[in-house]
Amino acid sequence: MHEVKAVVAKALKEPVSLETILVPDPGPGEALVKVQACGVCHTDLHYREGGINDEFPFLLGHEASGIVEAVGDDVTSVAPGDFVVLNWRAVCGDCRACDRGEPQYCFATHNATQKMTLLDGTPLSPALGIGAFAEKTLVAAGQCTKVDPEARPAAVGLLGCGVMAGIGAAINTGGVTRGKSVAVIGCGGVGVAAIAGSALAGAKTIIAVDIDDKKLETAVKLGATHTVNSSETDAVEAIQALTGGFGADVVIEAVGRPETWKQAFYARDLAGTVVLVGVPTPDMKIPEIPLADVFGRGGSLKSSWYGDCLPSRDFPMLVDLYTQGRLDLDAFVTEEIGIDGVEAAFDRMHQGDVLRSVVVFS
Ligand code: APR
Ligand code: ZN
Ligand code: ZN
């Protein structure tokens, strides 16, 4: 058993607190990870605000990298000393999706079986089955993906969630390839990652759309070829004008709202693809659209879950592109903070000048 410091959301809408927690030694199929860095993501805040479920107390943090400290007796995929990025989709290998050779859609991903607890024994619910705002965390061994140990922990840990979601929305879900035109609506961490992914894949035109000029400036740094401030200009018309009057081949919605999804629907070319990677709230409805438009425009309307990534395939590849200087993951790290800075980072998230605050452990 290990006693470590961790960021816990004890009650609905209450500020998070720094607690001492108990982390068990790894049992079969598990790994104990000494966390090096963990990004602050909207989903952590959603847990605290009751938007996910009410299984308080939550151990927050899930975009992380670290060093494996110990593994269960039967674990062979990773070993103590390995530098890993944590993922929240450890594939099972034998569900319907895995059986048909599509493990990126695995329907039975797993987490550690033993519980981390508060000192009084209260079990913690780790955010997305990870819980990495902690000096050490316990995960399923399959949640550890080994990557190049030379990489900067704060930068590559972000592949564990939002940045992978964005890059994957473009490359895996949207099928962006060389020469295509792409529009990305919403240029926060996820949207900007979709822009970086589109640039990596060789898209010819990459249109960034946001209502905030600061976000558009960052989007240009990550590869956007054009920008549209949709609080001033009609997004659909602007995207059409920048694509020969037709619309983009792929439009990625990275806000998670009905009205921006509707813009995405109409801003794509005939036979184009819409990718929804922004996360809607339960009260939102698909906007009213004539069914004849759905039929007549052809193409596909997709959602992207975690960028439809396969961590074992995508994490090491993207880390290598990063270390080669071809994918600027450093650009996503706005600031490095201490473990006591999470509540303040939640506040800054709303002000809009942060892509990611990253907790770094010494
Ligand atoms: N049109 C265009 N852009 C918008 C609009 C709008 N109507 N409303 C908000 N935005 C922009 C914001 O200005 C911001 O830049 O969308 C961006 C959202 O970014 P973040 O709040 O930083 O969120 P991010 O981390 O990128 O996640 C995007 O995916 O993971 C989910 O819950 C997350 O739904 C959210 C989405
Ligand atoms: Zn499976
Ligand atoms: Zn996240």
Average pLDDT over residues 30-43: 97
Q: Which of 255, 262, 332, 350 to mutate to test the pocket of ligand 1 (most atoms within 8 A of CB)?
A: 255
Question: What per-residue confidence (pLDDT) applies to 282?
Answer: 86
> What pLDDT is attached to residue 73?
96
Q: Does residue 255's CB lie within 6 angstroms of at least one atom of ligand 1? A: yes
**Cβ(278) to ligand 1 under 6 A?**
yes
What's the mean pLDDT in 135-145?
Answer: 98
Domain 2-160+328-360 and domain 166-304, same fold? Reply is no
pLDDT at 281 over 90: no
Average pLDDT of the residues in 324-329:
96
Please state, in angstroms and as integers, the Cα–Cα distance from residue 337 to each residue in 282, 340, 343, 362, following that order. 32, 8, 11, 11
Residue-wise pLDDT for 241-268, tens only, equals 999 999 999 999 999 999 999 999 999 9
Does 205 sit in the ligand 1 pocket, CB within 6 Å? no
For 104-132, what is the mean pLDDT?
Answer: 96
337 - beta bridge partners? 359
Q: Is 183 in the pocket of ligand 1 (CB under 6 A)?
A: no
Q: Is 187 in the pocket of ligand 1 (CB under 6 A)?
A: yes
CA dihedral 147, 149, 150, 151 (to 10 degrees): 50
Q: What is the pLDDT of residue 229?
A: 98
Q: Provide the pLDDT for residue 351.
A: 84
Percent of the chain with pLDDT over 70: 100
Atom of ligand 1 nearest to the CA of 263: 1
Per CATH, domain 2-160+328-360 is 1.10.10.10:
no
DSSP letter at 159 equals G
* CATH fold for domain 166-304: Rossmann fold (3.40.50)
pLDDT at position 60 over 90: yes
Query: In this predicted model, what pLDDT tens digit does every residue of 188-229 receive, in sequence order?
Result: 999 999 999 999 999 999 999 999 999 999 999 999 999 999
Q: What are the residue ranges spanned by the domains of the chain?
A: 2-160+328-360, 166-304
Ligand nearest to the CA of residue 101, numbered in listed order: 2
Nearest protein Cα to ligand 1, atom 35: 278
Q: What is the mean pLDDT of the chain?
A: 96
Render pLDDT for 297-316 as a digit per residue (tens, 0 to 9): 999 999 999 999 999 999 99
Does ligand 1 come within 6 angstroms of the Cβ of 191?
yes
| Ligand of minimum distance to the alpha carbon of 106 | 2
Residue 37 three-state SS: strand
Ligand nearest to the CA of residue 304, numbered in listed order: 1
For atom 12 of ligand 1, the residue with the nearest CA is 186
Cα→Cα distances 148→70, 316, 319, 326, 362, Å: 19, 7, 7, 15, 20
Mean per-residue pLDDT, 160-167:
96
Instruction: With a cut of 80, say whether residue 121 has pLDDT above it.
Output: yes
Nearest CA to 228 out of 199, 257, 251 is that of 251
